[in-house]
Amino acid sequence: MAARGPAKHGGGAPGGNSRRGLCCLTAVLLALPGCSSGGGSPNPSPSGGREPAPQTSSAQGPVSTEQPSRAFTDAELAAIINGVGQIHKLPYPAAHDSASLRSGAVSGSFPSTSMETTPGDCTAFIPEAPFTRWADKDITFAEGGMPPAGAESGPASTIMIVLRSAERHALAKADFGYAEALVSRCSQFDLAYTESGRSSGFAIQLLTAPPVAEKQHAFMQVTRPKGPGDFGSVGLRVLDGTLSITLSLAVATLNSPSDAQPALDAMAALAKELIDQARTGPPSVATPPPNSLTPDQPGGAVQGHQRP
C-alpha cells in the first residue's frame, strides 16, 4: 500500500481524490494493499509456489483471566483499543467513532462493494468488506490503529485493528465458521474486490498463526498485478470468547512467509494486549451526550474520518 497517510472521505459520489481516499480507507480496514496507481507486470503468488498447508491453532496463550462471556458494546470495544493505546502512551485516541461509521453505512452513503474468492469458499478466511460489517446490526465493532509497542506510527508500522463482538457461537460462526479441512484447500487463493464497478485483484496465502487464544489464522496478501510502490499486507485474526480481533499491517517487501514473520510477531503481541485488556475489563465508558446518534440513526456520510 503505497499511500497510507490520513484517508478522508465525504458524502457525494466518489470521484477523483475523494474516491481515492475512500478506496484507501477501505483497503486499510480490509487489509487490502495496493492503493497506489500504476500498472505492472502480472505478479506470481506470494510464495512463488504452493507451500504446505498452514496450521491453524486452538492453543490457549497465557492470559490473566477467563475468556469474556458476554458481548461487548461498540463503546466498550473502542475503550479496549484506547486502553491499550494509553498503555502505549499514544498522544491520541486509537479508536475511531463506530457510530459515524455505522450511520454512513446504514444511510447508503458509501459505494457498493463486493468480494469474490477463487475457490469461492475461501472467503471464510478474509474479513468482510468494511461497508458490509459497519452496517451489521447483530455484531458490535470498533476499529482503529496504533504502532507496535516502542515503534513510531508510519506507512509500514501502524497496525490496523478491527474488534467485533457478539454471543460467542454467533461470533465464531460469523468470523471463524470454516472447517479445518478448508485450510488446506485455501492455502493459496485469489481475491477480487470490486468497488463502484472497479475491480482490484489480490493473491492471498494462509500462514501459520502464532498461538494467541481460542482460535486464530493468518494470511499474507499482495496485489495482482503488482503496481509500482504497492505494499503487501499481513493479517492476523483471533477469536477469544465473545471477542474477535482482526489485525493488519502493511509490509513493503512481501515475497515469502519469512518476510511476513516480523509483522505477525508484532500483531500477535498486540492481540494479546487487546485480549488482556478485554479480560480484565475495558476502561469505563462515558455516557454519550443527549444528542448523540445511535447506530440506527442515519447521519449521512462520514465527514473527515481520519486514521491516526
pLDDT mean over 71-93: 95
pLDDT of residue 61: 41
The mean-pLDDT minimum among 42-51, 63-72, 167-176 falls in 42-51
Q: In this predicted model, which residue has the larger pLDDT, 58 or 184? A: 184
Contact 104, 62 (CB under 8 A): no
pLDDT of residue 152: 72
pLDDT mean over 35-48: 37
The CA distance from 187 to 197, in Å, is: 28
Q: How many CB atoms lie within 10 A of CB 169?
A: 9
What would the pLDDT profile of 48-75 be if each residue is shown by its tens digit? Answer: 444 444 544 444 344 446 888 899 999 9
pLDDT of residue 239: 97
pLDDT of residue 32: 43
Q: Cβ contacts of residue 59 below 8 Å, gap of 6+? A: 211
Cell of 44: 506470481
Q: Cβ contacts of residue 274 below 8 Å, gap of 6+? A: 80, 81, 84, 161, 163, 243, 245
Across the strands, what pairs with 219?
Answer: 206, 235
The CA distance from 122 to 116, in Å, is: 9
Region class of 150: left (phi > 0), else alpha (psi between -120 and 50), else beta: left
Confidence of residue 171 (pLDDT cuts 50, 70, 90): very high
pLDDT of residue 16: 36
The mean-pLDDT minimum among 39-43, 46-50, 159-163, 296-300 falls in 39-43
Could you tell me what percent of the chain has a pLDDT over 90?
55
pLDDT of residue 69: 85
The values of phi and psi at residue 299, to 5°, are -120, 20
pLDDT mean over 138-151: 89
pLDDT of residue 156: 76
pLDDT at 293 over 90: no
pLDDT at 229 over 90: no
The CA distance from 10 to 19, in Å, is: 9
pLDDT of residue 40: 36
Contact 96, 305 (CB under 8 A): yes
Burial 92-131 (b: 16+ CB within 10 A, else e): eebbbbbbbbbbbbbbebbbebebebeeeebbbbbbbbbb
The CA distance from 261 to 220, in Å, is: 10
Mean pLDDT, the chain, rounded, equals 77
What would the pLDDT profile of 98-131 be if each residue is shown by its tens digit? Answer: 998 988 888 877 888 899 999 999 999 999 889 8
Q: Which amino acid is at 281?
A: G
pLDDT of residue 106: 82
Cell of 302: 462520514
pLDDT mean over 137-152: 88
Number of H helices, E strands in the chain: 7, 8
pLDDT mean over 184-197: 95
Q: How many CB atoms lie within 10 A of CB 174?
A: 16
* CATH numbers and ranges of domains, the chain: 43-279 (3.40.1000.70)
pLDDT at 23 over 50: no
Of 2-16, 41-55, 216-230, highest mean pLDDT: 216-230
